[in-house]
Amino acid sequence: MIDINSLNKRLETLESHVAFQEQTIEELNKAITSQWEEFEKLKREISRLKAQLSDVQGAAEGTGSGEPPPPHY
């Protein structure tokens, strides 16, 4: 015969495990969301820096007169 008290105890244990897992999943979801936002922020920053570097390189190349350096150089 199945003991009702034993089944209740097992059910309570399972409910406790499920509640803990739900809490853990929620915490992990928050961590992933935060990391994703930081990742997107860093991608935008890298794009901005690439554009800035390209501008600086273009300006540096544009400062030359296009003529070869003198022979003594």
Tens-digit pLDDT profile for residues 3-38? 999 999 999 999 999 999 999 999 999 999 999 999
Higher pLDDT: 40 or 58? It is 40
**Separation CA 67–CA 46 (nearest Å):** 34
Say whether 37 sits in a helix, a strand or coil.
helix
Confidence of residue 2 (pLDDT cuts 50, 70, 90): confident
**Separation CA 3–CA 44 (nearest Å):** 62
Q: The whole model's pTM is what? A: 0.61
Alpha helices, DSSP H, located in the chain: 4-62
- The pLDDT of residue 73 is 60
Reported residue count of the chain is 73
